[in-house]
Amino acid sequence: MGWRLDIENANTQSMKHPRKHRPGSRKKAALLFSPGRMTTVVVIGALAVVLLIGLLLLWQKLTTTSSTTDYEGRVVDRWADYSEPEQGAQPRFRLLVESLDHKRFTIKVDDNVYESARVGMRIKSRAGQIVLIDSGKTSPDDR
């Protein structure tokens, strides 16, 4: 049966005399995993994770548009750009609004509202209906 497993020809010399460790190998291993070095690695790793999370949160804040339907504020900026889906370039119209509590958010508007809106105008939205109020004109209520 031994001839099937090829035990007779196996190198039994290495089993009788196990290989000894090199003299400096334990010292090198101790230096690689010293407490000071491990602390440095852990601190750098933690800083990298915190930096990555911060960048993700910043990217999310800059790329999200406000989903509020009811707001009131003043138009701070307006811009138009183009998205490029497979159907072709589509214009996208945006207004940057500063609310009464000085928070800024971006809203998506159609081309009619975009053309009517000017920086400095007051803007109100109730139930999805946008009303632009030109602060330069006086209304009958202001008399």
Q: What is the pLDDT of residues 43-55, one digit of tens each?
A: 999 999 999 999 9
Q: What is the pLDDT of residues 24-74, one digit of tens each?
A: 666 666 666 677 778 888 899 999 999 999 999 988 887 765 555 788 999
Query: Apex CA 14: angle with CA 11 and CA 17, to 5°?
Result: 145
Pairing mode, strands 129-133 and 122-126: antiparallel
Q: What is the pLDDT of residues 6-23, one digit of tens each?
A: 555 555 555 555 555 566
